[in-house]
């Protein structure tokens, strides 16, 4: 019976490792989970769309070895079989770190969104999105995730420096912007499929929402569908650690439920094996 229990536990921990890939990267600033989401539409296994999606994801991973942004469209026989997708790395990442982050994101978005036509995953260092519905080149200022830290009280000097950093981000050029003043650091980025004017409009909206929604918070994150803006009053340390983000999509909650169910199944199996052993000994005594 002991051998059976050991085999069962071994199977459990193997399955646990397979279903919770994000746990192994919890200490990595680049790979830290920010948010994830899935479409409601499903595709059938071994379908034409699945084949096209696999080709798309392979293209994203390969392209990330030499580019910090790219998008692909794998045409199908119909619009619903066409896979569209993109990846974007944070502007200050090296190419090796970009490639590693995108590969990590692609490996995680599949378990997060099994058999769904659309999926998106934002890690601290990169972003991956795919769908069979056209979204490339379309500005989208929907709030996906808002995170505000605890309030530090009304500090005129601190708020002035924060607002100055955020203003610098608004006035800066390019798709990736970063700046700081003292212990206040700020960062913003647009997805590369936006035009320059759309990027400016998106970042302006994100930064405006940061100011109004986070108030006197010590840090704030505002992720819109096609851009994000962040600030921290504790320097770069904020960007080097996870604040345990939880988006509306509930990706982390999904993994927690799976792990809990697996644990319950294992305990039930162990209990049944124990009962069988007791019954066997009782039968032998008669």
**Predicted confidence band of residue 256 (pLDDT cuts 50, 70, 90):** very low
Q: Does 278 have pLDDT greater than 70?
A: no
Position 99 scores a pLDDT of: 97
Position 16 scores a pLDDT of: 34
**Per-domain residue ranges for the chain?**
33-131, 143-241
Q: Which residue has the higher pLDDT, 238 or 53?
A: 53
Position 160 scores a pLDDT of: 87
For residue 217, what are the β-bridge partners?
A: 151
Q: Does 49 have pLDDT greater than 60?
A: yes
Position 201 scores a pLDDT of: 96
Q: Where do the H-state alpha helices sit in the chain?
A: 2-19, 48-63, 95-112, 156-171, 196-214, 251-285
Selected from 3.90.1150.10, 3.30.430.20, 3.10.450.50, 3.40.50.300, the CATH number assigned to the domain covering 33-131 reads 3.30.430.20
Query: 40: which residues sit within 8 A by CB, 6+ positions away?
Result: 116
Classify domain 143-241 at the CATH class level: alpha beta
Give the tens place of pLDDT for each residue, 204-235: 999 999 999 998 899 999 999 999 999 998 74
Residue 74 to residues 33, 51, 122, 138, Cα–Cα distance (Å): 27, 10, 22, 18
- Return the DSSP state at 217: B
Query: 181: which residues sit within 8 A by CB, 6+ positions away?
Result: 161, 164, 165
SS3 assignment, position 63 = helix
Percent of the chain clearing pLDDT 70 (strictly above): 71
Domains 33-131 and 143-241 share a fold: yes
Quick count: other Cβ atoms within 10 Å of Cβ 34? 23
């Amino acid at each position: 019976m002991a051998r059976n229990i050991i085999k069962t536990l071994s199977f459990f921990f193997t399955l646990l490792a397979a279903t919770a890939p994000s746990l192994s990267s919890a200490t990595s600033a680049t790979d830290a989970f920010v948010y994830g989401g899935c479409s409601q539409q499903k595709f059938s296994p071994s379908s034409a769309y699945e084949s096209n999606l696999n080709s798309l994801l392979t293209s994203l991973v390969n392209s990330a070895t030499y580019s910090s942004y790219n998008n692909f469209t794998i045409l199908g026989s119909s619009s619903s079989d066409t896979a569209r997708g993109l990846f974007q790395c944070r502007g200050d990442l090296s190419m090796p770190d970009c490639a590693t982050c995108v590969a990590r994101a692609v490996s995680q978005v599949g378990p997060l969104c099994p058999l769904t036509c659309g999926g998106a995953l934002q890690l601290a260092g990169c972003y991956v999105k795919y769908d069979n519905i056209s979204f490339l080149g379309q500005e989208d200022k929907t709030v996906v995730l808002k995170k505000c830290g605890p309030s530090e009280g009304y500090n005129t000097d601190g708020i002035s420096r924060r607002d100055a950093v955020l203003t610098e981000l608004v006035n800066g050029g390019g798709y990736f912007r970063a700046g700081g003043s003292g212990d206040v650091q700020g960062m913003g980025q647009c997805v590369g499929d936006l035009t320059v004017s759309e990027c400016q409009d998106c970042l302006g909206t994100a930064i405006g929402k940061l100011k109004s929604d986070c108030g006197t918070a010590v840090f704030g994150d505002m992720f819109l569908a096609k851009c994000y803006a962040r600030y921290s009053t504790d320097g770069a340390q904020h960007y080097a650690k996870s604040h345990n983000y939880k988006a509306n999509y509930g990706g982390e909650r999904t993994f927690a439920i799976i792990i809990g169910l697996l644990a319950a199944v294992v305990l039930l199996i162990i209990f049944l094996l124990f009962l069988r052993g007791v019954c066997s000994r009782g039968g032998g005594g008669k």
